[in-house]
Amino acid sequence: MSLVEMLQPSMLRVARMYVSTAAVAEEVVQETWLGVLRGIDRFQGRSSLRTWIFRILTNIAKTRGQREGRSLPFASLAGDDLDAPAVDPDRFDTGEASSQGAWSTLPDDWTGIPEDRLLGRETLAVIGRVIDGLPPMQAEVIRLRDALGWTSEEVRNALDLTETNQRVLLHRARAKVRSALEAYLSSETT
C-alpha cells in the first residue's frame, strides 16, 4: 500500500473538519499533495513525514475554510457536549468526605469475556459506530491515537492542538467508546 493510499482517508476526514463540503475536502487533499511535492526538498526531518504532511493539510484546510467564509468557533468543532461529564456522575461516591470522588460502582470487568468475542466483528462494529458518531475532533483524535497508533505529539502537531486539549478530546472519546462497550457487552451476557 502506498503512502498516498494509506493517508488519504485520514487526510479527507481532517480536511472535512475545516471545510464545508466533501468536494472541497478532496481539493484540499490534492493541494496538500502538490504542496508536499513542491516542498519536499525543504523537509528537514524535525518531525515525521506523516506529521509534516498533516501540518500542510491543516494549514491549507484552515485557509480554505476561512476563504469559504466558514469560520466556526474552535469549541464547536469539539461537539455540543463541552459541559457534559465524560463519565456518568452517578458512578462516583458522593457520600462521606473521605471517599468523595471514588467509584461507587466500578467499571465492568471484561476478563471473563472470551478474547475472540471482544475482538469479534460485531464488537468492532459497535466501536466503529460510536467513533463515527463522535464530534469530529474527538473522532479524529481517537482514530489517530488508538486506531493508527500516532503519538500524542504527532496528533497535536497534525491537528494543531494543545497538549491539554488533545488529552481532553481523547479522554472524552475513550469514555464514550467504553460506555457503549459496557452497554453492549452487558446486554450480551444477560
**Could you give the CA distance from residue 153 to residue 183 in angstroms, rounded to a whole number?**
32
Same domain, 124 and 60: no
Q: What is the DSSP string of 96-114?
A: SGGGTTSBSSPPPP-TTS-
54 located within any domain: yes
Domain of 39, CATH number, reads 1.10.1740.10
79 located within any domain: no
Are the CB atoms for 28 and 57 separated by under 8 Å? Answer: yes
46 located within any domain: yes
pLDDT for position 18 = 85
Residues 6+ apart with CB under 8 A from 126: 180, 181, 184
Whether residue 153 has pLDDT greater than 70: yes
98 located within any domain: no
Give the domain range for residue 62.
Answer: 3-67
For residue range 30-80, what is the model confidence (pLDDT) as tens digits? 999 999 999 999 998 888 899 999 999 999 998 888 877 644 445 445 444
Same domain, 53 and 125: no
Q: For residue 138, what pLDDT band results from cuts at 50, 70 and 90? A: very high
**Could you give the CA distance from residue 11 to residue 65 in angstroms, rounded to a whole number?**
15
166 located within any domain: yes
Write the Ramachandran bin of 101: left for phi over 0, alpha for psi from -120 to 50, otherwise beta: left
Domain of 163, CATH number, reads 1.10.10.10
Same domain, 117 and 186: yes
Same domain, 114 and 190: yes
84 located within any domain: no
pLDDT for position 21 = 84
Please say which residue of 67, 94, 122 terminates a domain: 67
Say whether pTM exceeds 0.75.
no
135 located within any domain: yes
Hey, which of 16-20, 31-35, 101-105 has the most confident mean pLDDT? 31-35
Q: For residue 1, what pLDDT band results from cuts at 50, 70 and 90? A: confident
Please say which residue of 41, 67, 93 terminates a domain: 67
Same domain, 189 and 133: yes
Total domains in the fold of the chain: 2
Closest to 55 (Cα-Cα) out of 73, 35, 71, 27: 35
104 located within any domain: no
Same domain, 187 and 117: yes
pLDDT for position 166 = 92
- What angle (nearest 5°) sits at the alpha carbon of residue 157, between those of residues 163 and 43? 150
